[in-house]
Amino acid sequence: MKYKIKGDYIELMALLKIVGIAESGGQAGMLITEGYIKRNGEPEFRKRAKLKPGDVIQFEDKIITIED
């Protein structure tokens, strides 16, 4: 899946809610803090990590590429 951002970046929690991985901010935060979300192949633990074009987010079998 590809996600086009409007602006310079999107925060990780916002992206997870927009694409339907998380139903709420609380659920998104839990997925992040428990290490279920990978950014460019490494676990990402920062809820408000600024995702920029070229970043690849993975949760289970879902892969999201950030584009501008």
Domain ranges within the chain, ordered by starting residue:
2-67
Helix (H, G, I), strand (E, B) or coil at 16: helix
pLDDT digits (tens, 9 = 90+) for 10-64: 999 999 999 999 999 999 999 999 999 999 999 999 999 999 999 999 999 999 9
Tell me the C-alpha to C-alpha distance, in Å, between residue 23 and each of 2, 11, 28, 55, 57: 19, 16, 7, 22, 17
* Mean pLDDT of the chain, nearest integer: 97
* 2-67 placed in CATH 1.20.210.10: no
